[in-house]
Amino acid sequence: MTDNVLTITLNPTVDKSCTVPRVQPDKKLRCSQPTYEPGGGGINVARGLVRLGFPVGALFPSGGRTGALLESLLHKENVDIIPIPVTGETRENFSVLDESSNRQYRFGMPGEPLVPVEAEAIAERIAALEPFPKWVIISGSLPPEMELTYLVKLIKMIKLRQAHIILDTSGEALKTAVAEGVFLIKPNLGELSSLVGIEALDNPSAERAAKQLITEGKAAAVAVSLGAQGAYLVTSEDSFYVHAPTVKKRSTVGAGDSMVAGMVAQLARGGAWPQVARMGVACGSAATMNPGTALFNKEDAEKLYHWLAQTQ
């Protein structure tokens, strides 16, 4: 396992994708051959980091036939995996592209709950890592029935080891986690609005809301994802807006995870905040150029990064 970066995915998945000529109700739809890819927030971040030439360890629970497939797929992508055996079947997600409209339909499955002994095994495995990673990314949804106190427990344990936590989740999990204080979060406008208790945000007020979270000690930096408009990266000292380059969009699956991968790669290499923001937007935009559940291509991301560096 790399001694620098670790991703934690508590509810991983195998993403299955295909295409159909047209989505229609009450008819048997003839699908293309399915594509299977590893999925889940932290899993995708790890895959993105490997594509950028950065070593990373990916820790996740793994169970059943789908768990075995997930491990096999990650081996093929040269991701250094730390699977924790569990009794429940690792979940699958499914997406289908309607070729007639170029619209994508995404179906997310909940996964199976972790029993207490399995959750404890995950925490113990993280605690036992030596040397302990400097950067820890906790990303994705939580398994059904998981108490939010478990996430708090992990964050406190990781912070005691002096690691920087990058958090990318949503809902109550995000609210609970930021109350403990982390290094970096990546909310969208809706999530940021919920965190600060403001009904609606626009670009200027988003910057102020991010500053509020930093002042309250909930994060050292906030990357506000604005989708097709790009992103704000806000720190205690400054803020950087990076507009998203215009690309031919084929799918938005994995764009947020790709953005996190780009930012972490620059952070772990000692990049300055403007570089962190640009690489995040470049990788996120590059991911939308690929179909189905595919992430970004390194060449596309680097090309967009250099273009952003020259134009901003």
Which positions are annotated as active-site residues? 257
| Tokens standing for residue 188 | 């969208």
Query: CA torsion angle for 112, 114, 115, 120 (degrees, to 10)?
Result: 170
Sequence-ordered list of residues with C-beta below 8 angstroms from that of 148, at least 6 positions apart, any chain = 142, 172, 173, 176
Extended strands (E) in the chain: 5-8, 13-20, 35-39, 57-62, 80-85, 91-98, 103-107, 135-139, 164-168, 182-185, 219-225, 231-235, 239-242
User: Are the beta carbons of 48 and 302 closer than 8 angstroms?
Assistant: no
What are the backbone angles phi and psi of residue 58, rounded to the nearest 5°? -120, 115
Query: Which residues on neighbouring strands pair with residue 96, listed in sequence order?
Result: 18, 105
Amino acid identity, position 288: T
